[in-house]
């Protein structure tokens, strides 16, 4: 689900909302604590919650930087990007611990004919009977 940014047109409070695309046009109410003077109301001793309907604003997406450069323990060279890191691991036949996926692949079962399966079954029965 995406994060949308909303701004209150009255008190200028901005907030991020994590919501589904289907609910992107259901605008939240401002929950900023404010004073009546801020909203152009009569002065009061109490703090208020703004409560006005917010508007969605366009904000730049947050971009997370690639991995930090590091020195390879195998060759001593500097690895400066994720793609170079993966390349380096492949070149030296290494894997990252926690990223192994070979165990997730389905094992291929050999195709056996009906006769071969029957012969194997008979052999197992004979071996079990020989133990008795």
Higher pLDDT, 25 or 100: 25
Say which residue the tokens 């079954």 belong to: 121
* Interval 3-48: pLDDT, tens: 888 999 888 888 888 888 888 888 888 888 766 666 566 655 555 6
* pTM beyond 0.85: no
Q: In terms of C-beta distances under 8 Å and separation of at least 24 residues, what long-range contacts does 118-127 make, across chains too?
A: none
**Neighbour-count burial for 72-106, b at 16+ CB within 10 Å, e otherwise:** eeeeeeebeeeebbeeebeeeeeeeeeeeeeeeee
* Interval 45-65: pLDDT, tens: 555 677 888 898 887 776 677
- Least confident segment among 16-20, 53-57, 102-106, 126-130: 102-106
């Amino acid at each position: 689900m995406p994060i949308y940014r909303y701004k209150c047109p009255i008190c200028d409070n901005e907030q991020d909302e994590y919501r589904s695309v289907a609910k992107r046009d259901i605008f939240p109410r401002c929950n900023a604590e404010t004073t009546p003077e801020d909203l152009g109301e009569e002065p009061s001793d109490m703090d208020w919650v703004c409560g006005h309907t917010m508007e969605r604003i366009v904000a730049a997406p947050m971009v997370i930087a690639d991995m930090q450069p590091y020195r390879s323990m195998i060759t001593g060279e500097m690895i400066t990007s994720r793609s170079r890191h993966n390349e380096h691991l492949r070149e030296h036949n290494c894997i990252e611990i926690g990223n192994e996926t070979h165990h997730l692949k389905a094992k291929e079962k050999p195709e056996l004919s009906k006769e071969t399966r029957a012969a194997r079954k008979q052999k197992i029965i004979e071996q079990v009977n020989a133990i008795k």
